[in-house]
Chain A
Amino acid sequence: MATSFQSVLQNLRETKVWKSIFRRGPANTNRTRSLAVFGNLFLHWLPVKVREKSLRVRASYYLGSISFLLFIVLFVTGILLMFYYHPATPHAYRDMKDLRFVVSNGVFLRNLHRLAAHLMVFAVFWHMFHVFYRGGYKPPHEFNWVIGVVLLLITLFLSYTGYLLPWDQLAFWAVTVGTNIISAMPFVGDKIRFLLLGGNIVGENALLRFYVLHVVILPLVAFLLIGIHFWRVQKDGGLTVKPKDDDGKE
């Protein structure tokens, strides 16, 4: 069985199509493994080799990876929810109800999106606390710490903008209260509230603006910063490993 699978794989690797996509042979030496990572768009910002101890559960609890996985879940379920959602009144509330009670598996996708969002806020905060108590913000990681803080804020903005979209009482009053907090800012508060809501009341303009922020602008910025964040982990020399874990074993 194994040999037949391997021979199929071997034959596949010798086809012209495979060779046009993957220009290298099998990754069976350290050099070819490094080249395989370097030569792949989706892997090139990851380190080609890591220390074994930085892969231990204790080193990170995989909190950053869990946050990213949740972000991908939210990205996919969010796109699927967009197929049934109109960011307009009175459709928004009805579409949310339809997703729950009419659309096949709609309630599954909606709850997956909602719960993954709650979990992501939790995971991102836990990630931040873990990095903080590990001293992961210290040189040479200062810049990546700042990127991480911005990503935390974007996670919270994504949660907040997404909160309005069901257009129910909870959403309406949460955004009424939240935008009134903004208007407490000296001098510019009322102007920022006006721009964010596209008016003086939480109405149709506000719903559309929050939707565009939620599905386009904030995810784009998040993707960009996540890319920089991952790339910097590699460039700054990998995860911070506590001295007591550093038993010299690579």
Chain B
Amino acid sequence: MSDAKNPYISQASRSAQAGDGITRRDFLNEITLGALGIAGLGSVAVTYQYFSPNVLFEPSTTFRAGNPDLYPVHSVTFLQDQLVYIVRMPEGFYAVSAVCTHLGCVTQWKPDADMIACPCHGSKFKGDGTKIEGPAPRPLPHFSISLTADGELLVDKLQNIKPAQVLKV
């Protein structure tokens, strides 16, 4: 039976099939799928928000490292609580991260070999964080270091600075 003779196809849908627009069924299907799609995307968004914590109970990333006189010239001092090396050279102070740039292990300062070594996968760095050998992809970053009003060293681990920037005291 051709569509023209089929009594179950209304005049409206027949004209729709002729190209005047879409059928009511297709229209409702598209509206429903569109609404479900928007609701689905919204669910993904709010689930993502839910799993992303707004308040963290983590140690502060800014800390005081004490009076500059604590650190002799030509010294590398490891601060275990902060995982930072405070390095004092004749030109000034800088703070080097003690966390290996490879996979996040804590490195160790080896005074005898005059280098920083990672126990996990054998990366080696110079005292200023420059890479000697891998697998670490990058040198150890330098953190922003400054003096507080009362003359103590202040390190901000969220701010990386260029290795050339040293704090002259």
Contacting pair B52 A199 (CB below 8 A): no
What is the distance, in angstroms, from B7's C-beta to the closest C-beta of chain A? 43
> Which of A67-75, A150-158, A176-184, A221-229 lies at the interface with chain B?
A176-184
A200 contacts partner chain B, Cβ-Cβ < 8 Å: yes
A53–B103 Cα distance when bound, in Å, is 50
Contacting pair B58 A203 (CB below 8 A): yes
Q: A177-B103, A181-B103 are in contact. Are A195 and B52 (CB under 8 A)?
A: yes
Contacting pair A176 B56 (CB below 8 A): no
Closest to B59 in A: A201
A180–B51 Cα distance when bound, in Å, is 19
Per DSSP, are chain A's interface residues mostly helix, strand or loop, or mixed? helix
Contacting pair B53 A176 (CB below 8 A): no
Contacts of B104 in A (CB 8 A): 176-177, 179-180
Contacting pair A198 B53 (CB below 8 A): yes
Contacts of A195 in B (CB 8 A): 48, 51-52
Closest to B121 in A: A177
B73 contacts partner chain A, Cβ-Cβ < 8 Å: no
Contacts of B79 in A (CB 8 A): none
A204–B103 Cα distance when bound, in Å, is 20
A139–B48 Cα distance when bound, in Å, is 38
Interface string of B96-126 (1 = CB under 8 A from A): 0000001111000000000000001000000
Q: A200-B58, A201-B58, A204-B57 are in contact. Are A173 and B52 (CB under 8 A)?
A: no
Residues in A lying within 8 Å of B, measured CB to CB: 173, 176-177, 179-181, 194-195, 198-201, 203-205
Residues in B lying within 8 Å of A, measured CB to CB: 48, 51-53, 56-59, 102-105, 120
